[in-house]
Amino acid sequence: MNEDRLTLTGLRATGHHGVFDHERRDGQEFIVDLSIATDFAAAAGTDDLANTIHYGVLAEQVTAAIERDPVDLIETLAERIAGVVLDYPAAASVTVTVHKPHAPITVPFDDVAVTITRSRP
């Protein structure tokens, strides 16, 4: 299998994730980056969207995963998003980075992020 990559960077949605009551109540922006290992040979050979991952639909699904039921940890959110991606048969593996740029940290910072990589079993 070829190891081609589909990358989506900077997907943004508001979620109510976190361990503090104000995070659950008020929500905040989460930003997600995806790097998906796949094989584009079939899609390129047929020029058929059915042979690849429809990144527009995937972006909507990831956004919905961020917006739905709250979790305490962004690690849990990253795992949820990886599951969404791996539901696509064309996705061999995915690296998910979840950014929480407005995390409740008491010192100046630019970003907090977790990154996981998951593969199809």
Q: Catalytic: 100?
A: yes
Percent of the chain with pLDDT over 70: 99
Q: Is the pLDDT of residue 3 over 90?
A: no
Mean pLDDT of 13-33: 96
- pLDDT of residue 93 exceeding 90, the answer is yes
Cα–Cα dist 108/17, whole Å: 21
Q: What is the DSSP string of the chain?
A: ---EEEEEEEEEEEE--SSSHHHHHH-EEEEEEEEEEE--HHHHHHT-GGGS--HHHHHHHHHHHHHSS--S-HHHHHHHHHHHHHTSTT-SEEEEEEE-TT---SS--S--EEEEEEE--
* Mean pLDDT, the chain, integer: 96
Q: pLDDT tens-digit profile of 34-75?
A: 999 999 999 999 999 999 999 999 999 999 999 999 999 999
Q: How high is the pLDDT of residue 1? A: 67
| Domains in the chain, CATH or no CATH each | 4-119 (3.30.1130.10)
Q: What average pLDDT does the segment 87-116 reach?
A: 96
pTM of the model: 0.95
Q: Which of these is catalytic: 48, 100, 101, 107?
A: 100
